[in-house]
Structure 1
Amino acid sequence: MSTAVRTSAFTEPDRPKGLLIRFVTTGGSYVDVTGHGEHFVTNRWTCHGCGDASRTPEEDYLFRIRPDANNHATACRAIPLT
């Protein structure tokens, strides 16, 4: 089984203000990590494919949500509908 990342066949959405990291999902969509950076608790991630997002943005330091966003991008097969 191949674990190579597939490039997206879809148009990349506009980059929101405060974009820190953008992951490409398995389905070709994107997961954005936005916020003010490493030392702030108001960072969050949002998936453009399925709409899932961080559960507790008031507690989300970048080091805590980066693995969650990456894991979601690895597992999500939803394609962007817009």
Structure 2
Amino acid sequence: MSTAPLAAFTEPDRPKNLLIRFITVGGSYVDVTGPGEHSKENRWDCRGCGDSSDRPEEDYLFRIRPDANNHAAACRAIPLG
């Protein structure tokens, strides 16, 4: 068993339209971006595995927040850049 410390990842720059950022199990990030709570044009994107919202044209914040959080809780992709 290795006793080397785990690598520390640096948080990437935050986009101007960032609403919420979740950290994934693998140490990457899921960003929820968009105009805000009452817009259907918000979306989430995983910076680890590249997955994103399924319905960006219907993404009210209250609908995508749980999806983004659930993805972050399951994604094991690590940051590559």
Instruction: Using structure 2 for the length normalisation, give the TM-score.
Output: 0.90
Indicate the residue corresponding to 1:43 in structure 2.
42
Q: Within 5 A, what are the aligned runs for 1:64-79?
A: 64-79=63-78
What are the ranges of 5 or more consecutive residues in structure 1 without an aligned counterpart?
Answer: 1-7
The CA distance in 2 between the partners of 1:10 and 1:44, in whole Å, is 24
What SS does the aligned partner of 2:73 have? helix
Q: Which moved more, 1:60-69 or 1:10-19?
A: 10-19
What does the per-residue CA deviation read over 1:2-37, in whole Å, with 9 as the maximum and x for residues that have no partner?
xxxxxx821101101200000000000000000011
Q: How does 1:7-26 map to 2 (within 5 A)?
A: 9-26=8-25
Measure, in 1, the Cα distance between the counterparts of 2:49 and 2:79.
8
Deviation of residue 78 (structure 1)?
0.2
TM-score, with structure 1 as normaliser:
0.89
**Identity percentage over the alignment?**
80
Q: Alpha carbon RMSD of aligned pairs, Å?
A: 1.0
Q: How many residues align?
A: 75
